[in-house]
Amino acid sequence: MQANSDAAPHGRLAVILLVAVSLGALGSLAAILEARQRGEVLDLVEVSGRFAPAEGEVARIEWRQRRESSDATVLIVDRDDDAVRTLLEGGALAGGDRQQVFRWDGRTDEGEPAPPGRYRVEILLPDLEDRDIIPERSVITLSEPPGEG
């Protein structure tokens, strides 16, 4: 009889743990769904870390966009917060988990080689609650300027 009485508390503990884990999983799912409804628009942002345009390399910027944006801007910004290259200005970006891909050849808007250094990617989505998104992985290091050509 002693064996059965010991099994009962262990069984209750197992049920309690199962309920706790299930509630945690449901809470996580609810947080994900709430973020989507709140308008979280970008995820899986990837940015080339270092590139050498003189060797024909380009920086690659890509992300998955959940919601459409009709007035988006994608900028390359220097350490002084000055935009050196506009990759998209006031353009439309499709949503629906669409993959967005942009490339930077290391040149400024004037077509001149940008000096070596660190640059940041900024994604501006003014039609979605005036959001300025600076991805966590947003730094690009230009190791040498593009060749003249």
Using CA of residue 43, residue 74, residue 52, residue 149, what is the dihedral sign?
positive
Residue 77, pLDDT above cutoff 90 = yes
Residue 128, pLDDT above cutoff 60 = no
Q: What is the pLDDT of residues 46-60, one digit of tens each?
A: 788 888 888 889 999
Q: 27 or 121, which is more confident?
A: 121
Residue 20, pLDDT above cutoff 60 = yes
Residue 90, pLDDT above cutoff 50 = yes
Beta carbons of 121 and 75 less than 8 angstroms apart: yes
Rounded Cα distance, 100 and 60, in Å? 10
